[in-house]
Amino acid sequence: YVTIDEAHGKKLFYYFVLSEANPSNDPVVLWLNGGPGCSSFDGFVYEHGPFNFEMGKTKGSLPKLHLNPYSWSKVSNIIYLDSPSGVGFSYSANESDYVTGDLKTASDSHEFLLKWFALYPEFLSNPFFISGESYAGVYVPTLAYEVAKGIDAGVKPILNFKGYTVGNGVTDDEFDGNALVPFAHGMGLISDELFEEVTAECKGNYYNPASTSCENKLVKVDENIQDLNIYNILDECYHGMEATKTTTGNTKLPLSFRKLGETERPLLVRNRMFGRAWPLRAPDDEVATSWLNNESVRKAIHAEQASVAGGWELCTDRILFNHDAGSMIKYHKNLTAKGYRALIYSGDHDMCVPYTGSEAWTRSVGYKIVDEWRPWGSNGQVAGYVQGYENNLAFLTVKGSGHTVPEYKPREALDFYSRWLAGKSI
């Protein structure tokens, strides 16, 4: 734990994994999951942590751990951070701290980094990167901005910050909100006729429909895609839209733009909550839940017992979170103009934050293309496509992957990650 606010007893929990290659020289990477409200143990257990978890034989029994050949710790030291306070094992003695937002989370996480590097000064000279996915599309650039500002102001310790990566990241209401219709058409989920009609009626503005005729066409789009798995359109769907007729937010929008209901899966699964661009991912989290709520495991990883920090949940509803930072595009422009490297990557079968939106906003930044759209490879196969812009900004797709790239395509994810960290061509 790192204490962010002594008076409030506000503590952030981290789990630090040393590089399996050369820890004293390899980059240090901070990993953040999204939500808001999801624990970064999501990344540790299900995505790129050092272990693959095999479900225990009986319900509630501990999973078996196997080494993960595609762990990101093969090439980097990783800090998995539970943020903001109230998420995962992070907690505060003062519950008012559970009301927070983008800007407070960024300043708290910056405070965490300063204190963490003060505890481990031997890592100060290593290249430092920030990485995350989903709602961390907001966490990463806002924190990177705080870090860059701190470096410019000479705040000690001086962090050797080099750049950041964002996977299937929430970025901008309009770009993200308008991404679904072109994605659905490109993937063959809606007909040419419907695409032409909805484009004509909505004039490209699907996120905030200006007319009833546009809304009516969006309902038709929705009817075509509502029974697909939003996190990976190739996966089986476990929710079915009839599970949720209750609406939240903008009731003008069709259901698939607003909320996913609870799944009917036999195993313990959190509510899937989501508004167009606010994914709160809920895999089958039995493995993580049984492991991280076991008192001896908690003791071993130095997490507080449940009586202090609360039970571990993959995604919590204990925080009240305000999206107060607006669009991320200005942050990306500011950081890349300062010389920080940025890799924006997308699993191309995610319908929650579709690649079409990420591709469009990276292009909208207006930088010159220096590495024209081309395939990139892994294990002798095309693994996706990449386009490089000036100022070290790159956009990359991962072929066939869903919302959480390292979970769906672990080998390919490690390949592009290690090449990018090393500053090589992907």
For residue 273, pLDDT over 70 is answered with no
Q: How many residues does the chain have?
A: 426
Q: Which spans in 243-347 are helix H?
A: 286-292, 295-300, 306-309, 329-337
φ and ψ of 228, to 5 deg: -95, 155
What are the structure tokens assigned to 164, written together? 């950041």
The reported pLDDT for the residue numbered 58 is 82
Amino acid in position 386: V
Place of tokens 């709602």: 135
The residues that are catalytic are 134, 350, 403
- List pLDDT tens digits, range 8-60: 999 999 999 999 999 999 999 999 999 899 999 999 999 999 999 988 888 76
Amino acid in position 91: Y
| Separation CA 161–CA 27 (nearest Å) | 10
The reported pLDDT for the residue numbered 264 is 31
CB 260 within 8 A of CB 273: yes
Nearest 5 degrees, angle CA 321-CA 33-CA 82? 75
231 or 13: whose pLDDT is higher?
Answer: 13
| Separation CA 277–CA 198 (nearest Å) | 20
Residue 62: CB partners within 8 Å, gap ≥ 6?
Answer: 56, 290, 291, 294, 297
Q: What is the Cβ-side half-sphere exposure of residue 411, based on CA atoms within 13 angstroms? A: 9
| Separation CA 292–CA 313 (nearest Å) | 9
| Separation CA 11–CA 16 (nearest Å) | 16
User: Which residues, in sequence order, are bridge partners of residue 369?
Assistant: 389
283 or 165: whose pLDDT is higher?
Answer: 165
| Separation CA 242–CA 245 (nearest Å) | 6
Domains and CATH numbers, the chain: 2-172+324-421 (3.40.50.1820), 174-281 (no CATH)
User: Which residues, in sequence order, are bridge partners of residue 387?
Assistant: 395
- List pLDDT tens digits, range 131-174: 999 999 999 999 999 999 999 999 999 999 999 999 999 999 99
The reported pLDDT for the residue numbered 239 is 55
Give the pLDDT band (50/70/90) at residue 237: confident
Nearest 5 degrees, angle CA 255-CA 259-CA 261? 105
For residue 238, pLDDT over 70 is answered with no
